Structure 1
């Protein structure tokens, strides 16, 4: 079943539920799509469960539909009245459908699913589902979100298993956490490569698009493209040189990757950015700051470059731009092979299934 509106509420026993709260489309949403698609490839029964149906359109819905991944809002799976809160809906959905495992992404989904599973135990449900959480964020959020982030981390002990996409993130979780690589599906290897220098991601402080603009100043004869939107957009545009092009949010990056020759990641904080994996899976090398788990992905001057500051990134970009086509082809091939061997669905999904089965068989 692949619908956002269930006319009836059939029992969906023994599914893996992947749950999140999603308004925009970013790294977590990309990870969830890849995880669901990967589990389906390995013949598992999977459903993406969205916590909230927002008034504005949610980009993840069209992507789930296009990928033929079953999904529902939690209220549709609940027998509770429409006006009750999300926690009650989640508890009701578990009671009615009895998924065998719930894998949460993001602090809201993690906290709600943990509490709902705890309610199941309190009410002596014979087989409460296993609950797991993946931690993605490398930065420490500010304001009210910081409180929820702390609550998510310090309630990690309530999960049957916790995952992180980098060792840096795992070290921030005060409970045993398994580090598993982010991953992507492997697209066909391109026959031709673009020339554009690109930034792909949210325009926010932790992603440091201001560093990207600083790099553009050193290369006035090259075009620098930014794909993404975010809170820094208004302050960045007046600072940009004439060789910088802002494209805003892109719903479908598949139409854009063919134009990109090299990806720059200028982040101050990261886990393991999905944009880097998507680029390298297409043979597009990445030049990145040394954040999160980047050093597990990029081998400097072999399949990409790592720099500690803007000057180091400038030198690396200059190296790429001045390489011979033969040398560029070698780096592209090594970038692709890195993803294939260590960061692809075929490489990582079996590791998730092993973790799932270990918990379920206890």
Structure 2
């Protein structure tokens, strides 16, 4: 039996979704793997359905030096005790600290190291100086990494441009469990727009507000789900036909997907966003920016519409012309694409193929 240790310095949002998804081995292989997890104590609720006996924790109040040291120390202890065959590191901080720990531990423990940055830090909008520092760290640490899992072709290509070895990288798209077809309730003739995400600069929340304010259509209704979590959060002004909701449960988000006619994803950068995948799996068309990986998921006039990142005028032009009937057609095609290219089954199989290849 192979033991896999999943390690995350924080698992809020998409990282938790990915970990939950790949916590079920492919059919017929569940007896071949034992899974263990190291996550923050206050985020255990992000892994419902996973046996608590498999979860190891550390105390994290915020991302500060003390919390990161606790994380590193607990990872050392868990590696000594559990003797994992594979350490699967999720996100940048886990990747940096986790690989440093694995390097220090090599005289005593030498598991295979899998790293998924969930979007490299040097691909985010930042100063050239910061990008150089981030890319230097990643280039150095790749030497103690057996496989780097990229979640989009864009991420893989850009990482190669920054000096990451293509032979170490493996493309595995995020996937969504199969969802049964459900006919949407005929609520009214209005067109219901939906935004789900952080209300900040990265997610393009300001672009959405500017665009919506310019469109003079009484039949457009916008529901915004989420809250600000970063210092670059955007103000939430009162606008006619706009409803703001706080973070809600996954079942409540699903209900909102069912009621919506189109999902808006105006991000400035993404790793490989789970929200558009979830919406498309529910038959929602997506209006997305052309940033980073989004064009790999949304095809213009096929599964939704694509506009220039940060261009609120272009988004407004799309909103002026959308129709309920056309949106339904795009949503049906989006559901088909998700089932063929972005299924959880495919994501799980490809992930465990990596584990198998590294431990043979």
Normalised-by-shorter TM-score class: 0.7 to 0.9
Asked whether the 8 Å contact 1:166–1:180 carries over to 2, the reply is yes
Q: Give the corresponding residue for 1:183.
A: 175
Cα distance in 1 for residues equivalent to 2:236 and 2:111: 48
Q: Give the corresponding residue for 1:263.
A: 263
Deviation at 1:140, TM superposition (A): 4.1
What secondary structure does 1:264 align onto? Answer: strand
Deviation at 1:277, TM superposition (A): 0.4
Deviation at 1:151, TM superposition (A): 6.6
Q: Give the corresponding residue for 1:98.
A: 83
In the alignment, structure 1 residue 29 sits paired with structure 2 residue 16: yes
- May I ask how many residue pairs the two structures share in their alignment? 330
What secondary structure does 1:237 align onto? Answer: coil
Deviation at 1:167, TM superposition (A): 3.1
Superimposed CA distance per residue, residues 92-122 of structure 1 (whole angstroms, 9 cap, x where no aligned partner): 2112111111111112211232122223323
Asked whether the 8 Å contact 2:2–2:85 carries over to 1, the reply is yes
Asked whether the 8 Å contact 2:199–2:226 carries over to 1, the reply is yes
In the alignment, structure 1 residue 107 sits paired with structure 2 residue 96: no
Greater mean alpha carbon deviation, residues 103-112 or residues 25-34? 25-34
The 5-angstrom pairing of residues 1-362 of structure 1 reads 14-22=2-10, 25-37=12-24, 43=30, 44-50=33-39, 52-53=40-41, 57-58=42-43, 61-66=44-49, 71-74=54-57, 85-123=70-108, 125=109, 128-137=110-119, 138-140=123-125, 149-150=134-135, 153-154=138-139, 155-170=141-156, 171-172=158-159, 174-176=163-165, 177-192=169-184, 196-217=192-213, 218-221=215-218, 222-230=220-228, 231=230, 235-238=234-237, 240-252=238-250, 253-308=253-308, 309-320=311-322, 322-324=323-325, 327-361=326-360
Residues 85, 26 of structure 1: alpha-carbon distance in 2 compared, 3 angstrom cutoff: closer
Asked whether the 8 Å contact 1:205–1:232 carries over to 2, the reply is no
Asked whether the 8 Å contact 1:46–1:70 carries over to 2, the reply is no
Cα distance in 1 for residues equivalent to 2:289 and 2:52: 34
Unaligned runs of 5+ in 1: 1-12, 77-83
Cα distance in 2 for residues equivalent to 1:184 and 1:116: 32
User: RMSD over aligned Cα, in angstroms?
Assistant: 3.2
Cα distance in 2 for residues equivalent to 1:332 and 1:208: 22
What secondary structure does 1:36 align onto? Answer: coil
With normalisation by structure 1, the TM-score equals: 0.80
What secondary structure does 2:55 align onto? Answer: strand
Deviation at 1:14, TM superposition (A): 2.9
